[in-house]
Amino acid sequence: MNALIPLYVIVPLASAFIMAILGRLIKNFGKAVLILELLFLTCLTFSFILNSQGTLVYKVGGFPDTGDIPIAIYMVIDGLSKLLLLIISVVGLLTALFSSSYTREYTAERKFYVLFSLMIAGMNGIVISGDIFNIYVFLEIAAISSYILVAFGVEKHQLEASFKYQVLGCLASLMILLAIGFIYWGTGTLNIADISRQLPYSAHFVKFVSILFLVGFGLKAAIFPFHSWLPDAHSSAPSPISAMLSGVLIKAIGIYVLFRIFFSMFALSYQMSVTFTVLGTLSMVIGGLMAIGQWDFKRLLAFHSISQMGYVIVGVGIGMILLTTGGSKTIAAFSIFGGLFHMVNHSVFKGLLFLNAGSVEYATGTRDLRKLGGLAEKMPITASTSMVASFAISGIPPFNGFFSKLIIIVAAVSAQYYWVALFAVIVSIITISSFMKVQKYVFFNTPKRSYKNFRAIPLPMKFSMIIMALLCLLLSMLVLSPIRDIFITPAVDALINTLQYSAAVIG
């Protein structure tokens, strides 16, 4: 199956090229190609998950390695990569289906699908790249596409949000490129597995480069205090793009790379593990508190993205601390499992909530909670799926968010990080209050005005929301051992067994 790995980049890049040319001649060509592309990538990912084990490596370039020096460009898929590829493909497919009706209002609709496909190519490339410079190249493909998509409606607030996103994104890219330059200067290689064995033992050098990577990819992941661009960008973008930015992009170009670098490239350190956990806790708390006062539906969701990513980082961060201090490896694996499980769950329930917000805005022309109300009767599918997603993100059983949050809290208590567990519980209560407000003001209050230009929601938009709502229930089954061992356990193993990646790539 190794020879199929390049398809994750070839297919979306080729699709974007074909859409750019034939989309001018054939109506709705881009929509059909994008949906078929993502359907193929979803099936390919399931095939990798079900039919392959361990770490798969594909060498691009045709140059044989010189001794033990890797010369070729390496594409690598392990358990963590498979999990991210699955998130990108499934959420991307459902979002593309939603977009097929949502984007009719745009005059440059054809270009939307080209950029969407390029963003998929960039994210897939990041996840399968085995060297840090190609991660940077694909990161720029995904980032530049997302900058344009945020401003796609060319309204003033969208252009302003995109500009802020670009400025901070370029600052992050500069720091990442600077760190890559230092790594190459110190090791003479760009291959992640090779860097892990060539990295100078100078503690100051490693700390300096680690900080550059943490700030650069922390900005991409929008963790506190590097989050200032996210509320504007996610709330201003077209709703399908908001779903992709929050549900997928910040994970693929931020969270995933941080995990890959600090587990597979650098030796785990106690200081960095504590830094991860502290930043995760601050993101969790501050994002939740800042969401409470928001009246813009999508802006409220954007702040909760910061908060929920905090849960992911806390889960993995506690596992890192235990691994570096010689603590229980079982509890470390349990905590990392909780973090990765919540990352999967967040991609679904937050993607669904942004699609709900998009449906409300599509139907009524506003997303100001104070101007809405009484939509439960007019939009029963949007109302019911929004209720499901609200329960899921708030951690209400039996929805998926309950199980991943519970695992993170139990792991924190087991590791004797009681304050972290307490903050996780408090933030969950804050999240419930936020989404009670959403449900009340959007769907159940008496409307403050009549909806004169109300538009019915098309079938493809309804279908995507229904499937995501079902996933909010079905993903709860990931706590069951047979299903967990197929999807998430390989990702946990890939992080815990820190030498496994290097051994599989270069021996």
Q: How far apart are CA 124 and CA 137, in angstroms?
A: 12
Question: For residue range 217-251, what is the model confidence (pLDDT) as tens digits?
Answer: 998 888 888 877 888 887 888 888 888 888 888 88
Of the ranges 199-203, 221-225, 267-271, 367-371, which one carries the lowest mean pLDDT score?
199-203
Mean pLDDT of 305-327: 91
Q: Which of 325, 288, 285, 318 is nearest to 303 (CA)?
A: 288
Whether residue 107 is predicted with pLDDT greater than 80 in this model: the reply is: no
Q: How far apart are CA 417 and CA 318, in angstroms?
A: 8
Which residues touch 420 (CB under 8 Å, ≥6 apart)?
277, 281, 314, 318, 412
SS3 499: coil
Whether residue 89 is predicted with pLDDT greater than 90 in this model: the reply is: yes
Q: Which of 452, 162, 424, 478 is nearest to 308 (CA)?
A: 424
Of the ranges 216-225, 371-380, 392-401, 442-451, which one carries the lowest mean pLDDT score?
442-451
Which residues touch 286 (CB under 8 Å, ≥6 apart)?
224, 306, 307
Place of tokens 């799926």: 385
pLDDT at residue 344, rounded to an integer: 93
Whether residue 7 is predicted with pLDDT greater than 90 in this model: the reply is: yes
What type of residue is 296?
D
Q: How far apart are CA 290 and CA 275, in angstroms?
A: 22
Whether residue 124 is predicted with pLDDT greater than 90 in this model: the reply is: yes
Q: How far apart are CA 315 and CA 364, in angstroms?
A: 39
Whether residue 388 is predicted with pLDDT greater than 90 in this model: the reply is: yes
- 349, 389, 423 from 431: Cα distances, Å: 13, 12, 12
Pairing of strands 56-60, 73-77: antiparallel
Whether residue 95 contacts residue 112, with contact meaning beta carbons closer than 8 Å, is answered with no
Delimit the domains of the chain by residue range.
2-506
Whether residue 378 contacts residue 415, with contact meaning beta carbons closer than 8 Å, is answered with no
Mean pLDDT of 156-168: 84
- For 3, the enclosing helix (H) or strand (E) is none
Whether residue 38 is predicted with pLDDT greater than 90 in this model: the reply is: yes
Whether residue 39 is predicted with pLDDT greater than 90 in this model: the reply is: yes
Whether residue 69 is predicted with pLDDT greater than 90 in this model: the reply is: no
CB atoms within 10 A of CB 372: 23
pLDDT at residue 456, rounded to an integer: 82
Mean pLDDT of 274-291: 91
Whether residue 447 is predicted with pLDDT greater than 80 in this model: the reply is: no
Of the pLDDT bands very low, low, confident and very high (cuts 50, 70, 90), residue 200 is: low
pLDDT at residue 268, rounded to an integer: 84
Mean pLDDT of 204-217: 89
SS3 69: strand
Mean pLDDT of 273-296: 90
SS3 320: helix
Whether residue 41 is predicted with pLDDT greater than 80 in this model: the reply is: yes
Q: How far apart are CA 495 and CA 449, in angstroms?
A: 53
Region of 60 (left: φ > 0; alpha: ψ -120 to 50; beta: rest) is: beta
Residue 292 has which token pair? 């409470």
CB atoms within 10 A of CB 270: 12
Whether residue 58 contacts residue 5, with contact meaning beta carbons closer than 8 Å, is answered with yes
